[in-house]
Structure 1
Amino acid sequence: MTVKPLFAAILLGAALPIAACQTVAGTQWGAAQDAALTAAVAAPTRSEANRLRDPYRHPAETLRFFGVKPSDTVVEIWPGGGWYTEILAPYLAAGGGRLYAVAPDWGMSGIKKLKDANAPLYGSIETADFPAFDANATRVPDGTADVVLTFRNVHNWRMGYRRDDKQDYSAEAFRQAYAMLKPGGVLGVVDHRLPEDASDERERSSGYIKVSTVRRLAEAAGFKLEAASEINANPKDTADWPNGVWTLPPSYALKDTDRAKYAAIGESDRMTLKFVKPR
C-alpha cells in the first residue's frame, strides 16, 4: 500500500495513518530493509532505558515511514543522548551507509559517550555544527545527504533555545537542512503537536508546535510535504499541561505531583511529517 498524500481539508492539524507499507511514500521497501531495521532496533548495544521508550517512539515504524535505507547517508540533527543514534549507527554500519550527528558543541556529549563506550560501532559517526552560524563552522557538505532526521527539535529552534538572545532561528535551521540534502532527499520531522487553535505564545513556551508552523518553515526553505503519519500520535495528550510538554514522561517536571496521572497519559502527542527536496 502506498502512503497517500495529504488532502487540503487536513493540511493543518491532522495526519494520515501509515498502515503496513511495502512502498513507503515513493521508496521501494523490501524484506531486506525490514530485516536490517528489526536487527538494529534489537541491537544489544542499545540501552535498556532507551528500549523502554519504544512503545512511545515507534522507531522501526518511524524510520520505515521516512524510507531510511541502510545504504543511505543520514544526518541526525541534535541527537541528544543518542536515543535514535543507537539504532541508526548499527543499521547504517551494516548496510554501508554513513551517519552524521550534527549539533552545537554543547549538544554532542551524548555522542561522545557513545563513542567512548563502543568505538568500533560509533567511532565512524561524523560530526558537524548545526545550526552553522559561524563562517568557520564544520558543515555537512551541501547536496550529500539522502535523509535528514530531526526528532523533537523544531520547537527548540522556534523558542530560541540555547541562544542568549532567545531569538527564533527555526527558518535558518530548515534552510541549512535543505542545503545538506540531495535533490529528492527526505527531511523527516517528529515533534510535539500543538492544536492549531492554540495561541502563538503557547508555541513559544510549551514545547509543543503546530503542524502548520512546521509546514510553513519547511516550505519556505523549499521543501514539499509528501506524507504524514499518526505513528507517534497520542490522543490522551491534550497539550495544555502546567509545565508544558515537560509535565509528561519522561521529564515529569512536577516530580511526584500527579505522577501516576501523567504516567497513564504517556509521552506526548507527536506529528510525523515527511518532506522532500524537489528534484
Structure 2
Amino acid sequence: MRRVLALLAVLALPATPVVAQHADHAGHAAAIDPALAAAVADPLREKDRARDKYRKPDETLAFFQVAPTMKVGEYAPGGGWYSRLLGLYLGPKGKLVGLYFDPTTGAFSAEAQKGIREGAAKYPAEVAAWSGQPADRFAAYPLDAVPEREKGTFDRILVMRMMHNLLRWNIADHEIRRMRELLKPDGMIGIEQHRARPDAPFAFTDGSKGYLREADVIKFMEVNGFSFVGRSEANANAADPANWPEGVWTLPPSLSGAKDEADKARLRAIGESDRMTLLFRKRP
C-alpha cells in the first residue's frame, strides 16, 4: 500500500523530473559511490556500525545525492553519529558544516543557548579528531550567526530525525527558512523522520511523540519554499506499529519505559522506528 501511495503522490506532481536519479522504483538508492562505501566501511566507524542496519547511511546519502566534493550542512548534529561518517566522506574533497539551532528563537533557556554556541564552537575540532581530516575542512554555526558570505553556497542540508522537535518547539518555519537561505539555487534538503501512520490523529503527530505524517512534512516543506523531489523506503520498518503511547522513544536505542529484560528483547526485535526519507529542492 505504501508503494501505491508513493506512486500516486509522484503522479500528482507537475511533469518535471521529480524522482531522484539515484533511486529505483522502490525508492531505494540504486548505486553507492565507492568513496561513500569506503567511508561507511572505515575502521574508525567501528563503534557506530551497529546502527547501520537501521539507519542505512549508504543508501540514505546516495538517495540524497550527496557527492564527496559537495558543501553539506548537517542540522542539529547531536551526538555526532552522522557527523563522523560525513567527516570521513566529505573531509578529503568537500566541506561539512554543522548547523545548530538559532538559540534566540525563544525555545531555549539561557543555559541551553550557551550549550548551543559552545557545541558549534567545538564541532570542527571534534569532527577532525573523529575523522582524521584537517579541521579546516569543517565549520559550524548557530543559525543566528551564519556569516553573510555563506548564504547560497550549500549543495545539501541534512535534517535527520529532527523535524518533530522543530514542530513541537514551534520553530520549524524559522529554522527551515534560514536553511533555505543557505542553499544554492538548485540545492536540496534531505529529511529523515520517524513516520506516523497516514490516519494518525493530530495529538499523535504534533511532534510530541516523535512521529509525523509523511504528507504533512511534504506539505510543510512546499509551503516553505521547496519542491518535493522524491522518497526512499531505505529506512522503512514495517514492524513498527508507530502507535506507542510514550512515543518513538519506546523503541531502540532509547527503550524508554521497558519493564524488564524480556520487554527490552521484544522491542529490540522490532528494531528502530519506521522512517520516511524525503528529498526537497529549493524552489526559485
TM-score normalised by length of structure 1? 0.81
Query: CA contact under 8 A between 1:174 and 1:217: conserved in structure 2?
Result: no
Indicate which of 214, 236, 239 corresponds to 2:239.
236
* 1:42-90 C-alpha deviation (Å, 9 max, x unpaired): 2222251x21000000000100011100000000001111111111111
Shift of 1:106: 2.9
Distance in 2 (alpha carbons) for counterparts of 1:19 and 1:116: 31
Matched residue, 2:204: 202
1:223/1:116 CA distance change after superposition, 3 Å: closer
| Corresponding letter in the other structure for 1:177 | M
Equivalence map 1:166-245=2 (5 Å):
168-204=170-206, 205-245=208-248
Matched residue, 2:146: 138
Matched residue, 1:40: 39
Distance in 2 (alpha carbons) for counterparts of 1:76 and 1:206: 23
1:267/1:52 CA distance change after superposition, 3 Å: same
Matched residue, 2:61: 63
Distance in 2 (alpha carbons) for counterparts of 1:81 and 1:113: 14
Equivalence map 1:7-86=2 (5 Å):
7-9=7-9, 17-19=26-28, 21-22=30-31, 34-48=33-47, 50-86=48-84
Shift of 1:102: 1.2
Matched residue, 2:19: none
Aligned-pair identity in percent equals 39
List runs of 5+ in structure 1 lacking aligned partners: 1-5, 23-32, 161-167
Indicate which of 104, 126, 148 corresponds to 1:114.
126
Distance in 2 (alpha carbons) for counterparts of 1:159 and 1:175: 17
Distance in 2 (alpha carbons) for counterparts of 1:81 and 1:122: 20
Whichever structure has more helix as a proportion of its residues is: 2
- Larger deviation: 203-212 or 255-264? 255-264
The question of 1:89 aligning with 2:87 is answered yes
* 1:140-179 C-alpha deviation (Å, 9 max, x unpaired): 721110001010000010111xxxxxxx111112211211
Distance in 1 (alpha carbons) for counterparts of 2:147 and 2:178: 9
| Corresponding letter in the other structure for 1:260 | A
Matched residue, 2:105: none
Matched residue, 1:149: 158
Indicate which of 256, 259, 279 corresponds to 1:274.
279
1:118/1:230 CA distance change after superposition, 3 Å: closer
Query: CA contact under 8 A between 1:237 and 1:269: conserved in structure 2?
Result: yes
Distance in 2 (alpha carbons) for counterparts of 1:100 and 1:229: 24
1:19/1:127 CA distance change after superposition, 3 Å: closer
RMSD of Structure 2 on Structure 1 (CA) = 2.6
- Larger deviation: 76-85 or 207-216? 207-216
1:260/1:11 CA distance change after superposition, 3 Å: farther
TM-score normalised by length of structure 2? 0.80
| Corresponding letter in the other structure for 1:18 | G
What SS class does the counterpart of residue 185 from structure 2 fall into? strand
* 1:14-46 C-alpha deviation (Å, 9 max, x unpaired): x96224535xxxxxxxxxx71100111122222
Q: Where does structure 1 differ by over 6 angstroms across 4 or more consecutive aligned residues?
A: none
What SS class does the counterpart of residue 121 from structure 1 fall into? coil
Shift of 1:256: 4.3
| Corresponding letter in the other structure for 2:100 | A
1:243/1:111 CA distance change after superposition, 3 Å: farther
Query: CA contact under 8 A between 2:71 and 2:153: conserved in structure 1?
Result: yes
What SS class does the counterpart of residue 45 from structure 1 fall into? helix
Query: CA contact under 8 A between 1:129 and 1:139: conserved in structure 2?
Result: no
Query: CA contact under 8 A between 2:88 and 2:131: conserved in structure 1?
Result: no
Query: CA contact under 8 A between 1:189 and 1:272: conserved in structure 2?
Result: yes
The question of 1:129 aligning with 2:142 is answered yes
| Corresponding letter in the other structure for 1:35 | P
Shift of 1:116: 7.7
What SS class does the counterpart of residue 229 from structure 2 fall into? strand
